């Protein structure tokens, strides 16, 4: 599976053809469960993690809000084998990611990582993620 197949579902709701098709191709048969406002589905053998949040603060419909591609530096995950989206590589640093995707819109004070509507680089684990802000 390549990142472009996954990226087409980004920011869409669970009942969209893009998300339901992606989950079907990944073998997911049940709706992800919300825990503390987020529902994660992990695919350690694929080096992939998907996160869903409610579409709005008052909605029960889930939206694919984060796609995390793992480089294999974490014991739990194999490296993502496909091409990363938009010309990204696991060797890219923050500056290269920002040149390719633009400046993120939200900064995380918890991890020291930058979380944005375009991309996040977690320098501690060499993961790459696409994140969309919660719609209010």
Q: Model-level pTM?
A: 0.76
Contact residues for 1 (Cβ-Cβ < 8 A; gap 6+)? 25, 26, 46, 48, 82
Does 21 have pLDDT greater than 90? Answer: yes
Average pLDDT of the chain, as a whole number: 78
The answer on pLDDT for 25 being more than 90 is: yes
DSSP 78: P
How far is Cα 124 from Cα 60, in angstroms, rounded to an integer?
33
Per-residue pLDDT for 105 more than 70?
no
- The H-assigned helical ranges of 26-93 are none
The DSSP secondary structure of 16-44, one letter per residue, reads SHHHHHHHHHTT--SPPPPBTTBEEEEEG
Is the confidence at residue 108, as pLDDT, over 80? no
CA atoms within 13 A on the CB side of 31: 13
Whole-angstrom Cα distance, residue 63 to residue 23? 13
Whether the pLDDT of residue 26 is over 90: the answer is yes
122 forms beta bridges with 127
């Amino acid at each position: 599976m390549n990142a472009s197949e996954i990226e087409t579902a980004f920011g869409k709701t669970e009942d969209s053809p893009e998300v339901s098709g992606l989950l079907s191709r990944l073998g997911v048969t049940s709706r992800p469960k919300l825990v503390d406002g987020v529902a994660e589905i992990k695919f350690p053998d694929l080096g992939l993690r998907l996160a869903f949040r409610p579409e709005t603060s008052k909605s029960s419909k889930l939206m694919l809000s984060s796609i995390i591609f793992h480089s294999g530096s974490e014991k739990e995950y194999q490296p993502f084998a496909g091409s990363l989206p938009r010309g990204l590589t696991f060797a890219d640093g923050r500056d290269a990611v920002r040149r390719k995707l633009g400046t993120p819109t939200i900064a995380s004070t918890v991890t020291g990582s930058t979380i944005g509507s375009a991309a996040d680089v977690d320098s501690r684990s060499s993961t790459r993620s696409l994140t969309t802000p919660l719609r209010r």
